[in-house]
């Protein structure tokens, strides 16, 4: 959408963002096949979609079914890994050797994600909690044919944690040296912020955190051209003092280099762009605050503020110099959602929907791949690739 100026006409355009937005080109749209007799787990979580160096896709499908002649709550669970060619053909599929079948109704999967490493191998990380409240985490290393090369346990980040603490991962990234970077949180739920770099064999190479308060999280992280890592973490100020947003910078080996306070948004999403960190602060009808975009440079200074035409944004990723976001025209929790692509000044390039999006990622050529549900959110997802009109 265009930036709001002083003219009333521009204000009118921003008040009705759906009127003049072009739709993207749909390059690929393939329904992901759920195993016979199973139901797709409708609870979305990050990490289920990865992109290989050859442009192919890797998708994790978490499914369950009721067990015959058992209690109503009893389920049988399964996690399948799929390889999808750029054109949309499913080329490989394997049921992963997941043994963490816990809980009476479903996997208690606190984290499940796949990373396509630079070598062509794949890493699948999972964190679970059993019915007795004990947590465990594992990293599976698979080759390009989905053969398991190693299954390594991943221990807690400190030696003095409650045995029920678990990992919650929001970001799964490959590193230039063929390792995996995970970022999110650790704790009993809510969690303290945490990030860590693991080798594909599960060796902890470095970590930062966990934090000292609850609830905390690493909301976004991305590499910088100099090899450092820039992240945005939500951290507690102290007991009874609320949370704050901080930009953290870590060296290639994990050494902390900087920690800078951000503006204090009480309802926002964030992505790390080339120019800095982009925040979209949602509208607040109680205070009559309008939604806006705020670009903050790597030193924590506000570079520019721009109106944002959607009152509610639920998720956002970096897309080249701009962003892709899941938005709604209303702040109602049940309002239909749309997928939009915008530049770094808030101009909407295209809008698609209504559609329910579980996860999205940017491709090197600027296209956007998403796990999306064209109909009901509990229907099996489609892998969809969108390009500019």
67 falls in which pLDDT band (50, 70, 90)?
Answer: low
Mean local confidence (pLDDT), 291-315: 93
| Integer angstrom CA distances of residue 355 from 28, 339, 371 | 16, 7, 10
Q: Which two tokens stand for residue 20?
A: 């003049």
| Average pLDDT over the chain, rounded to an integer | 86
- Say if residues 346 and 306 touch (Cβ distance below 8 Å): yes
Give per-residue pLDDT as tens, 335-347: 999 999 999 999 9
- Say if residues 370 and 317 touch (Cβ distance below 8 Å): no
- pLDDT at site 66: 65
Give per-residue pLDDT as tens, 141-194: 999 999 999 999 999 998 777 788 889 999 999 999 999 999 999 988 788 999
Give per-residue pLDDT as tens, 220-264: 999 999 999 999 999 987 666 678 899 999 999 999 999 998 876
3-state secondary structure of 367: coil
Mean local confidence (pLDDT), 49-66: 90
The answer on pLDDT for 16 being more than 50 is no
Q: Which residues are CB-neighbours of 314 under 8 A, at least 6 positions away?
A: 269, 326, 327, 328, 337
Give per-residue pLDDT as tens, 183-223: 999 988 788 999 999 999 999 999 998 988 778 999 999 99
The H or E element spanning position 8 is helix 8-15
- pLDDT at site 39: 82
* 102 against 283, higher pLDDT: 283
Beta bridge partners of 59: 49, 82
- pLDDT at site 103: 45
> Pick from 208, 253, 261, 264: which is nearest to 228 by CA?
253
């Amino acid at each position: 959408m265009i930036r709001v100026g002083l003219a009333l006409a521009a204000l009118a355009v921003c008040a009705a963002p759906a009127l003049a937005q072009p739709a993207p080109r749909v390059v690929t749209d393939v329904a992901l096949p759920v195993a016979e007799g199973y139901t797709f787990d409708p609870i979305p979580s990050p990490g289920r979609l990865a992109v290989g160096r050859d442009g192919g896709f890797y998708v994790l499908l978490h499914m369950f079914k009721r067990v015959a002649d058992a209690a109503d709550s009893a389920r049988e669970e399964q996690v399948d890994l799929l390889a999808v060619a750029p054109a949309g053909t499913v080329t490989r599929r394997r049921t992963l050797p997941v043994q963490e079948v816990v809980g009476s109704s479903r996997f208690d999967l606190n984290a499940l994600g796949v990373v396509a490493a630079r070598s062509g191998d794949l890493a699948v990380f999972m964190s679970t909690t059993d019915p007795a409240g004990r947590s465990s985490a594992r990293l599976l290393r698979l080759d390009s044919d989905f053969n398991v090369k190693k299954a390594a346990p991943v221990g807690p980040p400190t030696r003095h944690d409650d045995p029920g603490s678990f990992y919650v991962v929001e970001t799964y990234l490959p590193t230039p040296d063929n390792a995996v970077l995970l970022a999110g949180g650790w704790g009993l739920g809510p969690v303290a912020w945490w990030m860590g770099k693991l080798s594909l064999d599960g060796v902890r190479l470095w970590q930062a955190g966990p934090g000292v308060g609850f609830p905390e999280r690493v909301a976004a992280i991305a590499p910088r051209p100099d090899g450092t890592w820039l992240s945005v973490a939500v951290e507690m100020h102290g007991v009874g003092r609320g949370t704050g947003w901080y930009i953290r910078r870590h060296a290639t080996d994990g050494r902390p280099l900087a920690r800078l306070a951000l503006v204090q948004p009480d309802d926002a999403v964030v992505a790390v762009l080339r120019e800095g960190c982009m925040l979209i602060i949602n509208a607040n009808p109680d205070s009559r605050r309008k939604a806006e975009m705020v670009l903050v440079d790597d030193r924590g200074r506000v570079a520019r503020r721009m109106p944002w035409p959607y009152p509610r944004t639920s998720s956002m990723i970096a897309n080249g110099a701009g962003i892709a976001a899941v938005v709604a025209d209303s702040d109602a929790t049940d309002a239909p959602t749309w997928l939009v692509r915008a530049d770094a000044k808030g101009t909407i390039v295209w809008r698609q929907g209504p559609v329910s999006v579980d996860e999205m990622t940017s491709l090197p050529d600027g296209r956007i791949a998403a796990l999306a549900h064209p109909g009901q959110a509990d229907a099996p997802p489609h892998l969809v690739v969108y390009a500019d009109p």
